Amino acid sequence: MDQYAIATSLIGDVYVAFGASGVTCVELVRTTTGFEESYFERLGRPVRRAKSVPKVIARIIERGSDPSEPSDLTYDLSSLSDFDRRALEATLRIPRGETRSYGQIAADIGSPRAHRAVGAALSRNPVPLLIPCHRVIRSDGSIGEYGMTGPAAKRLLLDRDMRLSG
């Protein structure tokens, strides 16, 4: 059975769910009942409360992911389409302190005209903060939208990334 616990992030407390195949979900804290119900609806399996988030996950939520730092962390993205998984995997490779455009991600995954589809895929990211979709911006350099509370949160995360990358 999957488990979840609360972790503290720069943009607020988040539920982090994880199971045998890896991290399955990161979501802003609302109500426990609401989280458990929505989790079951999305993934078709129950989730139960754990005492804490594993340390490696908590560290990445606090500091942001960095592909140059080795980690045994895995993600269960089995509920996503192949395109969405490829977009998220490309996003995971963006170093802390750097950004890529939606078009660059589309080109990286072999679909150079699919920048809007990349945006849609990132909006479905089940593990934001861990797979850093906040590092993907518009081609004009503006930050664009962010599903976890909006552009202000995205700016906070990008600023943190820049501070920690130097």
Active site residues: 133
Nearest 10 degrees: Cα torsion 53, 59, 60, 64:
140
SS3 call for 15: strand
Q: Give the integer Cα–Cα distance in Å for 36 and 49.
A: 9
Q: What stretch of H or E contains 9?
A: strand 2-9
CB environment 52-90: b (16+ within 10 A), e (fewer): ebbeebbbbbeebbbeeeeeebebbbeebeebbbbbbeb
Instruction: Give, in order, the Cα–Cα distances in Å from 72 to each of 14, 29, 55, 98, 132.
Output: 21, 25, 12, 22, 17
Can you tell me the distance from the alpha carbon of 22 to that of 159, in angstroms, rounded to the nearest whole number? 28
**Token pair for residue 84?**
């969405």
